[in-house]
């Protein structure tokens, strides 16, 4: 394969290291992997459990797993800076069953997320509720 894009998948897989090795196996040398996963284990909530997340990632943890699977990480950064306080607020006052308020999610997506993207760009992805990584098969 010439490339793989994984959007909110790896966090559902118990043996994520094996999944990354399999992705590496099917990619040709020099091919790219773009991967998007939830970040910051401290943000793990009932919603994560409800949707089947096994984990949230730390930047260095994801880098180590990618490198161990045969990738050279070319970029890894946090995204959705404003998602951090939003998720913390959800941990404090949100549903213990993991349910989401549809109106609150819609408002966040329409009003807050565009501002969060601007902040991500201007601050260079120093913190955020997700990680976006690009890696190349060695």
CATH of the domain at 14: 3.40.50.150
Cα 130 from Cα 128, distance rounded (Å):
5
> Does residue 69 contact residue 16 with C-beta atoms inside 8 Å?
no
- pLDDT per position as a tens digit, 80-131: 999 999 999 998 888 889 998 899 999 999 999 999 999 999 998 899 999 9
Pairing label, strands 3-7, 71-79: unpaired
| Ranges 4-13, 27-36, 98-107: which has the least confidence | 98-107
Measured N-to-C along each axis, helices 59-68 and 16-26 cross at an angle, to the nearest 10 degrees, of 50
- Phi (first) and psi of residue 90, to 5 degrees: -60, -40
Return the residue matching tokens 């401290």: 42
* Those residues with Cβ within 8 angstroms of residue 27's Cβ, 6 or more apart along the chain or in another chain: 1, 2, 3, 4, 33, 137
Total domain count for the chain? Answer: 1
N-terminal to C-terminal alpha carbon distance within the chain: 14
pLDDT level of residue 14 (50, 70, 90 thresholds): very high
What is residue 67's predicted lDDT score, i.e. its pLDDT?
98
Q: Domain of 42?
A: 3-137
Contact 79, 46 (CB under 8 A): no
CA distance 71 to 49: 29
């Amino acid at each position: 394969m010439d490339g793989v894009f994984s959007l909110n998948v790896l966090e559902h897989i118990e043996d994520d290291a094996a999944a990354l090795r399999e992705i590496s196996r099917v990619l040709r040398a020099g091919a790219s992997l773009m991967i998007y996963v939830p970040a910051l284990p401290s943000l793990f909530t009932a919603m994560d459990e409800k949707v089947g997340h096994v984990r949230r990632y730390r930047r260095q943890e994801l880098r180590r797993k990618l490198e161990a699977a045969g990738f050279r990480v070319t970029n890894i950064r946090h995204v959705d800076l404003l998602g951090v306080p939003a998720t913390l607020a959800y941990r404090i006052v949100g549903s213990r069953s993991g349910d989401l308020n549809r109106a609150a999610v819609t408002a966040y997506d329409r009003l807050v997320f565009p501002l969060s993207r601007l902040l991500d760009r201007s601050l260079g992805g120093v913190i955020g509720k997700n990680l976006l990584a690009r890696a190349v098969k060695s």
